[in-house]
């Protein structure tokens, strides 16, 4: 069966520090991968998606970047965090149209 | 492009009462429809989905939803809620035959009171 792993679960980082969040999928190949952010009291904002290794599409301009170095690995990064980067970050994958997404358990990022 | 409107941001109900969470969508093509549930500090879990066929879809935890093409709606219902149903619920849509990208509504916070 397919599983998705996301870590860390919580993270407190100072302003200006770097960020690396990792997401991996097991039990499938060539998934479409997504990074979402959920700010307090707001809906889900799609940040990046990837349809293959090295292929990244950005949905909104921001202080973050994403990479897909391997088929089932998706990384969210920042060189210098801002206070506004605080939020709940969710990774998701899908294996085909109509299947919907399977989400990871999320990372709560607090920038202080 | 598709869009999703969840008409209620918060819905308070008493335990064992029925509940309906409303969702309307807009799309120029046929769509797939989904409902997700999110418990505090957790990821989203798929409740149910409509792909084709019967317009009444049954999901996990006793929830069901009805697809109404003429009204472009996909409302979520449960005849009797429990305290444990307290969570946020998201409606989502994707195009049939198009990108797999899901477009989400802003969510409805369901609070079940004793």
| Residue-averaged pLDDT of chain A | 92
- What are residue B49's DSSP bridge partners? B34
| pLDDT one-digit tens code per residue, B59-96 | 999 999 999 999 999 999 999 999 999 999 999 998 88
In angstroms, the separation between the Cα of residue A56 and the nearest Cα of chain B is 14
CB spacing of B106 vs A32 below 8 angstroms = no
Supply the pLDDT for residue A41: 67
* B107–A contact, CB cutoff 8 A: yes
Q: Which residue in A has a C-alpha nearest to residue B6's C-alpha? A: A43
Q: What is the mean pLDDT of residues A29-40?
A: 90
- How many other C-beta atoms lie within 10 A of the C-beta of residue B79? 11
For residue A33, give the nearest of B101, B49, B98, B106 by alpha carbon: B101
Q: Which residue in A has a C-alpha nearest to residue B51's C-alpha? A: A98
Q: Strand runs (DSSP E) across chain B, as ranges?
A: 3-5, 10-14, 19-21, 24-26, 31-38, 44-50, 56-58, 64-68, 73-78, 87-95, 103-104, 108-113
Checking if the pLDDT of A59 tops 70, the result is: yes
């Amino acid at each position: 069966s397919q599983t998705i792993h996301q870590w860390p679960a919580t993270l407190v980082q100072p302003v200006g520090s770097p960020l690396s969040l990792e997401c991996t999928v097991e039990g499938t190949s060539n998934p479409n991968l997504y990074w979402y952010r959920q700010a307090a009291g707001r809906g889900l904002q799609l940040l990046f998606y990837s349809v293959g290794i090295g292929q990244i599409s950005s949905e909104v301009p921001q202080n973050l970047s994403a990479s897909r170095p391997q088929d089932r690995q998706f990384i969210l990064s920042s060189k210098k965090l801002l206070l506004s980067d605080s939020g709940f970050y969710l990774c998701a994958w899908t294996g085909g149209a109509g299947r919907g997404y399977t989400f990871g358990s999320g990372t709560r990022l607090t920038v202080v | 492009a598709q869009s999703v409107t969840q008409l209620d941001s918060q819905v308070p109900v008493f335990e064992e009462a029925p509940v309906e969470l409303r969702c309307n969508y807009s799309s120029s093509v046929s769509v797939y429809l989904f409902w997700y549930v999110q418990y505090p500090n957790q990821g989203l879990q798929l409740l149910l989905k409509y792909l084709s066929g019967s317009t009444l879809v049954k999901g996990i935890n006793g929830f069901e939803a009805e697809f109404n093409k003429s009204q472009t709606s996909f409302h979520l219902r449960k005849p009797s809620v429990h305290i444990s149903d307290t969570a946020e619920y998201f409606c989502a849509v994707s195009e049939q035959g198009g990108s797999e990208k899901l477009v989400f509504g802003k969510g409805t916070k369901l609070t079940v009171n004793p």
